[in-house]
Structure 1
Amino acid sequence: MDIDFNYDEILFLEGESGIVGVVKVAHDNKMLFIATQDNEEIVQFLEKDDIIAVSNFKKDKRAIRSQAYLTREEDSPIVILNKDHPSVKRLAQVLSVGEKVNLNCNIIPGTHPEQDVLCSCDSLSGLSIVKTSTGVKLNKNYENYTIERF
């Protein structure tokens, strides 16, 4: 299923107990800085049509917009916490950036450093979101979505 949207829009995939917001990286040759638990910094190079996906379990669109804005426009680094970090239990939202994002409800926070796996609610689990030049492609039909101004 293809869903088209512009760089100044955000796609919301709404689940029963959570929501995922998706925006496009709007700049060529963007760098994303990832702080690891080993006191290292990884640089991920992004292309213009890559996606930023933010998963939120409080269904708070404002929080999703804020996180997407900080990542896309303010170059805020992503911080990876290990599974034993006390703050992992309090994470209300998580994000993934790249050309493809796989939503999954059966992962343990802090155990998947791969950027293509994103924790989601059960009703969104199993969806794969792949960038296209005009929006995204989902691996299956999903009708509970909206597109809003970013």
Structure 2
Amino acid sequence: MDINFKNDEILFLEGETGIVGVIKVAYENKMLFIATQDNEEIVQFLESDDIIAVSNFKKDKRAIRSQAYLSREESSPIVILNKDHPSTKRLETVLSIGDQVNLNCNITPGTHPEQNVLCSCDSLSGLEIIKTPTGVRLNKEIENYSIEEF
């Protein structure tokens, strides 16, 4: 299933107990800085049509927009917490950035440093979001989605 949207729009994929927002990196190629638990900084190079996917379990579109804005417009680094970090239990908004994002409800926070896996609600689990020049391609049909101004 292909869904097209513009660089100034956000795609919301709504599940039963959570929601994922998707925007394009947009405008230009960028560098993403990832801070690891080993006091290292990884640099990930992004293309302008790569995607930023943000998952939220409170279905809070404002939180999704805010996190996406910080990553795209402010180039805010991503901080990776290890699985034993006390804050992992309080994360309600998480993100993944790249050319493909795989939604999965069966992951433990802090155990998937690769950028293509994103924690999601059960009903969105198994969904693959792949960038296209004009939007995204999903590996299966989804009924509950909307496109809004970003």
Q: TM-score, normalised on structure 2?
A: 0.99
Find the counterpart in structure 2 of residue 93 from structure 1: 93
Find the counterpart in structure 1 of residue 10 from structure 2: 10
Tell me which amino acid in the other structure corresponds to 2:92: A
Distance 2:35 2:71 in 1: 13
Runs of 4+ in 1 over 3 A off after TM superposition: none
Map of 1:1-150 to 2, 5 A cutoff? Answer: 1-150=1-150
Distance 1:140 1:15 in 2: 14
Distance 2:7 2:29 in 1: 15
Identity of paired residues, percent?
A: 83
Q: Please, which runs of 5 or more residues in structure 2 have no aligned partner?
A: none
Contact 1:27 1:47 in 2 (8 A): no
Equivalent position SS for 1:13: strand
Tell me which amino acid in the other structure corresponds to 2:53: A
1:29 deviation in Å? 2.1
Deviation digits for residues 72-120 of structure 1 (CA, Å, limit 9, x no counterpart): 0001000000000000000011000000000000001110001000000
1:122 deviation in Å? 0.1
Aligned residues: 150
Equivalent position SS for 1:65: helix
Distance 2:54 2:29 in 1: 21
1:27 deviation in Å? 2.9
Distance 1:47 1:87 in 2: 31
Contact 1:103 1:127 in 2 (8 A): yes
Equivalent position SS for 1:27: coil
1:143 deviation in Å? 1.3
